[in-house]
Amino acid sequence: MKTIDELLADGVSGKRVFVRADLNVPLADGTITDDGRIRAVLPTVKALADAGAKVVVASHLGRPKGAPDPAFSLLPAAERLGELLGAPVAFAQDTVGPAAHDAVDGLQPGQVAVIENLRFNPGETSKDDTERGEFADRLAALADVYVGDGFGAVHRKHASVYDLPARLPHYAGYLIATEVGVLKKLTEDVKRPYVVALGGAKVSDKLAVIDQLLGKADRLLIGGGMAYTFLKAKGYEVGISLLQEDQVPVVTEYLERAEKQGVELLLPVDVVVSREFPDLKTKAPTENTVVDADKIPADQEGLDIGPKTRELYASKLADAETVFWNGPMGVFEHPDYAEGTKAVAQALVGSKGFTVVGGGDSAAAVRTLGFDENAFGHISTGGGASLEYLEGKTLPGLAALED
């Protein structure tokens, strides 16, 4: 995989460099609530601009249905990128049409343009190779060189991620190079004890990575909504907690495998329960109680790990040399149910080992709960991509850069 440093060494002054970024930031009424992904691509964009390139930044945002949708416009991201760069950023109101060509043609060396949401064109996500290839051809007409730096999208076989690199000289940006280096630390010559904390809503999203980690990690700490399927597998009442009944047999098998392989697979010993899900907009206080994990009332749901579990998990993280955390321990968006996620984050901050926050909601939680991002070894920009890498899958966007 050739890197951006090799590109810069060859010289890029005056060249049109297409940067596939991941500007898929959360928006609330058109306002960005977390700009972490924009800041993550800054080193690549700035280095290219400083070297005199004409930088064309492209990304997806959300899941529009192959047609323009103002709710998913990249304009707020383009404006924020300009603020962070401290320089004007041109914005094209289409992807490969007249506006995009005008914006790129108008660039002077060292200037930056952002084109509109790639997913406004059906060719970006098409499963038809020909349709995807035609869109990639039109994107290629905007540039001389390709730099892949949208790690959060490399597990997608999309035109701008997979097909476009084949049409241009291609290089990995700083973010992708960093992300891959970190993931290699989690899969090759891992320093032990290696502890993995997994949370989030659905156990089905994590089954493949659990399958892989049962042979590699020393301890697995389970929290979040997915924990209740594990508790059900142990025969516990889980009330109206989030449950994937169809996954109970698989989870039961994993519990048995963990015991046979000597892997500590820890589940919550107590949980915070309530009769109703909290209002995440008003953040109004809720009625809740702490109960043992095997005593969840039939009419209540678990919304966070309890204080005993927080203490237990912190102790299991204390001596770790390597930690990977993906998924919150509870409904961290509400203050009544944020303590479990906060406890895990704090344990990582206090760890002397190499700590990785696996993107997505975990990264959002770190920022929402006010932690210093520099206190962690690495905060990934791609939760799904990180998990698929750890599962041992070939990621199309990385494979395209390696050719």
Contact status, residue 60 vs residue 124, Cβ threshold 8 Å: yes
CA dihedral 23, 24, 28, 29 (to 10 degrees): 70
Least confident of 76-85, 182-191, 232-241, 343-352: 182-191
Given a cut of 90, whether residue 396 has pLDDT beyond it is yes
Contact status, residue 77 vs residue 25, Cβ threshold 8 Å: yes
Q: How confident is the model at residue 51 (pLDDT cuts 50, 70, 90)?
A: very high
List the binding residues for substrate.
22-24, 37, 60-63, 119, 156
| CA nearest to 259, candidates 270, 267, 269 | 267
What would the mean pLDDT of 257-286 be, rounded to a whole number? Answer: 96
Least confident of 59-63, 115-119, 230-234, 390-394: 390-394
Give the 3-state secondary structure percentages of the chain, helix then strand then coil, rounded to 5.
Answer: 45, 15, 40
314 beta partners: none
What would the mean pLDDT of 226-255 be, rounded to a whole number? Answer: 97
Structure tokens at 165: 């690199």
Q: How confident is the model at residue 403 (pLDDT cuts 50, 70, 90)?
A: confident
Q: What global pTM score does this model have?
A: 0.89
List the binding residues.
22-24, 37, 60-63, 119, 156, 206, 302, 333, 359-362
CA distance 197 to 308: 16
What would the mean pLDDT of 260-266 be, rounded to a whole number? Answer: 96
**Sequence letter at residue 273:** V
Q: Distance between the two ends of the chain, CA-based, in angstroms?
A: 7
pLDDT tens digits for 94-143?
999 999 999 999 999 999 999 999 999 999 999 999 999 999 999 999 99
Q: How confident is the model at residue 292 (pLDDT cuts 50, 70, 90)?
A: very high
Distance of CA 195 to the CA centre of its chain: 19
List the binding residues for ATP.
206, 302, 333, 359-362
pLDDT at 214: 92
Q: How confident is the model at residue 189 (pLDDT cuts 50, 70, 90)?
A: confident
What would the mean pLDDT of 59-83 be, rounded to a whole number? Answer: 96
pLDDT at 305: 98
What would the mean pLDDT of 349-366 be, rounded to a whole number? Answer: 90
Q: How confident is the model at residue 2 (pLDDT cuts 50, 70, 90)?
A: very high
Crossing angle of helices 339-350 and 307-317, in 10° steps, is 20
Q: What are phi and psi of 171, to 5 degrees?
A: -145, 155
Q: Are strands 16-20 and 54-58 parallel, antiparallel or unpaired?
A: parallel
- Enter the DSSP assignment of 328: -
Structure tokens at 152: 């959060």
pLDDT at 359: 73
pLDDT at 284: 96
Token look-up 């603020």 returns 83
The residues annotated as belonging to the active site are: 37, 202, 360, 384
Structure tokens at 392: 């041992």
CA distance 48 to 26: 26
What would the mean pLDDT of 302-312 be, rounded to a whole number? Answer: 98
Structure tokens at 70: 């103002």
CA distance 153 to 161: 7
pLDDT at 152: 92
pLDDT at 223: 97
Given a cut of 90, whether residue 336 has pLDDT beyond it is yes
pLDDT at 202: 85
| CA nearest to 381, candidates 55, 28, 38 | 38
